[in-house]
Amino acid sequence: METKRIGLAIHGGAGTIERSKMTPEKEREYRAGLERALTAGCEILKRGGSSLDATEAAVRVLEDDPHFNAGKGSVFTSTGTNEMDASIMDGKTLKAGAVASVKHVKNPIGLARLVMEKSPHVMLDCAGAEAFAKENGIELVDEKYFFTQERWDALQKIKEAEKHGGVGGKKFFISEHDRHGTVGAVALDKSGNLAAATSTGGMANKLPGRIGDTPVIGAGTYANNQTCAVSCTGDGEFFIRAGAAHEVSTLMEYRGIKLQAAAQMALDGVKKLGGSGGLIAIDKNGAVALPFNTNGMYRGYVDPNGRFVIEIYR
């Protein structure tokens, strides 16, 4: 079935993003990255490509951009390694693929897609995921590829703060100031199919082996043609406990609530548990919602006239 409406929304993470701490140059770079991601996804949708291809393409662009906490530019664990998580879901078939704690995969979202399409499983982690990547010709890189000075300095800052009792009362995790950067995309294609994709380096100073909401289907990522597609960002533990992404869909399906309100209610559920962050969602008619409860979220979407809207602050 051909629908005319296409839709795309992306995020580059939510957190304490202060205008006063942002230089005009840095802001331009973030905006340019978001614009490149929207362009990559939008071009695919405009020529009739699938929402799966569009979300994967948009997320790849952000994984390759060192400003965002996914792929190159991922945050460091407490032992100074990079461990990345990613997932993708097809709203038409409800098929999904995810990878967790991968260390050498240049584009974790591509591997998540491959897990969905070429394995009988939904989630692979660590060495098994990387062996599967190798077998299937996915690009693997040296760990050094993911290094950025900014993320390294952020880890040192937390380590220093830990010596004095933790950051913002949280012993292990980074303060909201340095955390943002997870990336995600949701899309509706011309055939009426929805898809969602999310990729992250996780939370800085996380314990090695920690897995957040990003690769957990129903928590950080969910898509269902009957309702919506969702990609989340924020304190992963709380998004997992709230089943946040799936919650948006069930509120729509079982209670007949519209996208915007359902997205806000799901996020309020995360907040009630003590978690902060945001999410992006798109419904089967192409309406988008981009709520967040932090003071900023890197985000963008294509409006009904085909124009790009890119925002950072509240």
- The footprint of ligand ASP (CB under 6 A) covers 13, 179, 182, 200, 202-203, 212-214, 233-234, 236
Closest CB to ligand ASP among residues 175, 233: 233
Catalytic residue from among 55, 77, 182, 227: 182
Of 75 and 223, CB closest to ligand ASP? 75
CA 174 from chain centre, in angstroms, equals 18
CB of 150 to ligand ASP, least distance (A): 15
Strands (E), the chain: 7-15, 84-90, 96-102, 123-125, 183-188, 194-200, 221-223, 228-234, 277-283, 288-289, 296-302, 308-313
Q: How far is the CB of 99 from ligand ASP (least distance, A)?
A: 13
Is residue 182 among the annotated active site residues? yes
For ligand ASP, the closer of residues 44 and 244 by Cβ is 244
**Torsion sign, CA atoms 127, 180, 302, 186:** positive
Rounded to whole angstroms, the Cα distance separating 89 from 187 reads 11
Do 194 and 225 touch, CB atoms closer than 8 A? Answer: yes
Instruction: Name which of 42 and 167 has its Cβ closer to ligand ASP.
Output: 167
Give the nearest distance from C-beta 6 to ligand ASP in angstroms.
Answer: 26
Contacts of 194 (CB under 8 A, 6+ apart): 51, 91, 92, 186, 187, 188, 223, 224, 225, 228, 229, 282, 283, 284
Name the minimum Å distance from CB 4 to ligand ASP.
33
Q: Which is nearer to ligand ASP, 6 or 14 (CB)?
A: 14
**Cβ proximity of 173 and 179 under 8 Å:** yes
Least distance (Å) from ligand ASP to the CB of residue 35?
Answer: 21
CA distance 24 to 189: 34
Q: How far is the CB of 120 from ligand ASP (least distance, A)?
A: 26
Please list the residues that pair with 308 across neighbouring strands.
Answer: 302
Beta sheet of 183-188, edge-to-edge order: 123-125, 96-102, 84-90, 194-200, 183-188, 7-15, 296-302, 308-313
Distant-in-sequence, close-in-space partners of 43: CB < 8 Å, separation ≥ 6: none
220 in Cβ contact with 214 (< 8 Å): yes
CB of 118 to ligand ASP, least distance (A): 25
Minimal CB distance residue for ligand ASP: 236
Contacts of 30 (CB under 8 A, 6+ apart): 12, 67, 298, 312
Nearest-10 Cα torsion for 262, 268, 269, 274: 160
Active site residues: 182
